[in-house]
Each structure stands twice: as structure tokens, then as C-alpha cells.
Amino acid sequence: MEKDENTMFKFTHNSLHPLEVEELRRLRHTLHENPELSEQEHRTTKLLRDEIRRLGLEEVELGLPTGLAAVLHGGIPGPMVALRADIDALPVAEKTGWEHASKETGRMHACGHDVHMTALLGAAMLLSRHRDELCGDVVFVFQPAEENMMGAEHVIAAGLFEKLPIRAMFGMHVWPQFDFGTIGLHTGAVMAAKDVFTITIRGDGGRPSAPQCTHDSIVCGAHLIVALQSIVSRSISPLENAVVSVCSVHAGSCDNVIPDEMTLLGSTRTFSTSGRETVLQRIGELSDAIAAAYGCRASLSVVHGSPAVINSAALADVAYEAASTVFGDSGTFNCGSVSISEDFSLYGGNVPTYYYLFGVRETGTKMPSLHNPCFCPNDRVLPAAAALLANSACAYLARAGVRSL
């Protein structure tokens, strides 16, 4: 650990004491062995609460059944910054063969949230050592229910930003497509907005031997599926990313009836407000037009998910400083945008935010993807991930103390 007048404390992957590293490993193993699904994270919350109390952090009363937030008060008055980790698991049956594999049948930390939680506890360890010299306060947000996209909304509705004068928030996600020793940075939209659509096509069913007497919902739906793929190539700029996927098709139940109805279920990923609006508008227009062309009727319903995760330009220098301190300049790179979604984006409606993609792949290997039953980062990533989060808080507080961020 180093300190200078511009960035306060600088933590690296070697900043934790060996005993602290071993403690983080133990915590990670316990969390991985005992995964809990969204809004069911009761044991997880108890473990986290015990740890933050041991570190002397002050819990913030949010009134939520799971998840928690706690404050580390610095010894010198200054601004307040937040660090966030998600805590829920997935309904996935683990196949890693790890000695600390899940003990819960059909549940697994297949998205790395066990690493996220442990890294945030590690950041609390690092920062707690220097609380008397810390120029401001750090909030640690252990958020429930990220996987069902409800957790951030619950935390915000519970009054996090009304109860605490948070001025910025940082988070990270382990990333199996990047090598350990690298951290992906990107200003602007780093993760996509997600929306789920359902299209119901209603025609007039009948005998397949007399199709001329019907308005076939299946033929109509088949043409609509193909037409939807033109939205990205013909309605969205080639300089902008978007994805439209039909993921479920249901119609009929036997071989001698043309069904009255066909249902399509799908999702979209977009990176800008205008792109999001265009994609959803075109889905509705194509549904109506193609249904009419085949003598059918179409109805569209959309469930809006989280917006795109936007990394604030105002935090770009802080993020670079935090990341490059861990692995050096060569360990940071512009990762561009990725098409998964994260409800971390909702915090960006309240304060500037920044979200890192933290590489965990062993160099020269192919690592299973997120949500795969074999996904399991090595414990050796924990100290560096903790340092990244701790550096984010320190770099922000140092810069915010001398200029507006």
C-alpha cells in the first residue's frame, strides 16, 4: 500500500495481509457453499452483517428483508462514495467439482456474486485500517435480487439516497472473457438495457386440409419472426449495437388443427434511449403490419427491464487511476460495450456511476461463461478485486475533496 497527496491510499493485489487473504478465502467458500436465490438471501445477509459489525461499520436501516448497507466513517470530513456488490445466486445445478461447491441442490453462485461480496468485504478490510486518515465516508451496499432485476429498485425505494448523501457509486463484475490481471474500462454505455416482449397473434383456425378457410397464425408468426431480425440491420445505425431475439414460440397442440393463436416471447438489448425506443416501436409496427397482411391481429406487451449501465465520463479518470494502481497501465483497456444487463444501472438515475469488468480467466485457457454450471473463478482474484474497489473509493474521495465530481 502506498499513499500520496493526490490519491490518498493506493492498494495493489498484495495489500492484504496473508491472514486477511485467508479470511477472505474462508468467507468466499462459505458464501459459495450456501447460495440463496433472489429475495431469499437471509443466511447470506446474516453472514455479511456479522462481518461488517466485526469491522466496526455502521449499518444503515433500510428495512429490507435481505441485503444491507453500512458506512465506514472517515476521520476527516469529506464527501461520501458508495461501493456495491450483488448477493443472490441462480437456480443452476453446480458441476464444478470444486471441494467448496454448492451444498444447495439446484442453486449456485454461477454469476460470481460470491466473489463480488467477498471483494467488497476485502475493500472494507483495507479501508478500515485507515479510517482515521480517510477524507470522507464510504458506503458498502450489499444488494439483494440482482438476478430478478428487482434489488436495486428495492434499495433505492428504501431510501438509500435520501438517508445518505452519496455522491458517486462504483461496482464491478467478474468477467470470464478477460484474463486475470486485466480490468475492462469503458466510458458511456458498458452494459445493455433489456426489455422483454410478448406478441400474441390471433387468426382464425380450422382444418389443415382446408387452409384457404383459415387465417393461419403460425404462417403469420413465422414471417414475423424473420421480419423482426431486420430491425437491427435496417432500423438501427450500423454504429450502434442492438439485439432482438425471439426465444419462445408456442402454438397449437395437435396435427389436425390450425390454431387460432400463436405466442412469441423474446427480448431486446439496446444501449441508448433512442435505440431502445426505435426497437420497441418497430416491433409493434411490424407485428401490426404483418398480422394485417395475413388477415390476423397482433397484440404486443412489453415488460421494461433495467436501462443501460452508463459509466459516467466524470468518473473516468478515477476509474482509470483505481484500476491501473492494481495491475499497472498495461492491465487496463477499453472493453467496449457488452450486451448483458445489470440493475446497477438504476443507481445511475441518482448519482454518477462506474462499473468495471474484472478479468478472471486464467491466461491461455477457455473459461466457462457466466451462468454456466462450471463457472468458478479462482480464489486468487480476491485480493486484487478488493483493491480495485478500495482504490475506487480512495481515488474518488481524494479528487472530490479538491474539485467538484
Least Cα distance to 351 among 75, 68, 114, 81 occurs for: 81
Distance CA 6, CA 9 (A): 9
Residue 339 in grid coordinates: 450486451
pLDDT of 5 above 90? no
Q: For residue 201, what is the DSSP state? A: E
pLDDT of 259 above 90? yes
Q: What is the pLDDT at residue 160?
A: 98
What number of other Cβ atoms are within 10 A of residue 256's Cβ?
A: 8
pLDDT of 29 above 50? yes
SS3 at position 370: coil
Question: What band does 404 get if pLDDT is binned at 50, 70 and 90?
Answer: very low
pLDDT of 210 above 60? yes
Least Cα distance to 200 among 235, 248, 268, 232 occurs for: 248
Q: What is the pLDDT at residue 6?
A: 42
Average pLDDT over residues 96-122: 98
Q: What is the pLDDT at residue 9?
A: 81
Q: What is the pLDDT at residue 400?
A: 82
Least Cα distance to 308 among 188, 197, 177 occurs for: 188
Q: What is the pLDDT at residue 381?
A: 98
Q: Are 146 and 113 in contact (CB under 8 A)?
A: yes
Q: Are 168 and 405 in contact (CB under 8 A)?
A: yes
Question: What band does 11 get if pLDDT is binned at 50, 70 and 90?
Answer: very high
Q: What is the pLDDT at residue 401?
A: 65
Mean pLDDT rounded to a whole number for the chain: 96
Query: CA gyration radius for the chain?
Result: 24
Question: What band does 402 get if pLDDT is binned at 50, 70 and 90?
Answer: low
Residues 324-381: tens digit of each pLDDT: 999 999 999 999 999 999 999 999 999 999 999 999 999 999 999 999 999 999 999 9
Question: What band does 23 get if pLDDT is binned at 50, 70 and 90?
Answer: very high
Least Cα distance to 99 among 25, 207, 198 occurs for: 25
Overall fold of domain 193-304: Alpha-Beta Plaits (3.30.70)
Q: SS3 helix, strand, coil % of the chain, rounded to 5?
A: 35, 30, 35
SS3 at position 299: strand
Report DSSP letters for 9-40, one per residue: EE--TT-S-HHHHHHHHHHHHHHHHS---TT-
Q: What is the pLDDT at residue 405?
A: 52
Q: Are 315 and 241 in contact (CB under 8 A)?
A: no
Beta strands in 203-314 (DSSP E): 242-251, 261-270, 297-304, 309-311
Every domain of the chain and the residues it spans: 2-190+308-400, 193-304
Q: What is the pLDDT at residue 8?
A: 63
CATH of 2-190+308-400, one of 2.40.10.10, 3.10.20.30, 3.40.630.10, 3.40.1280.10: 3.40.630.10
Q: What is the pLDDT at residue 1?
A: 54
Average pLDDT over residues 17-31: 97
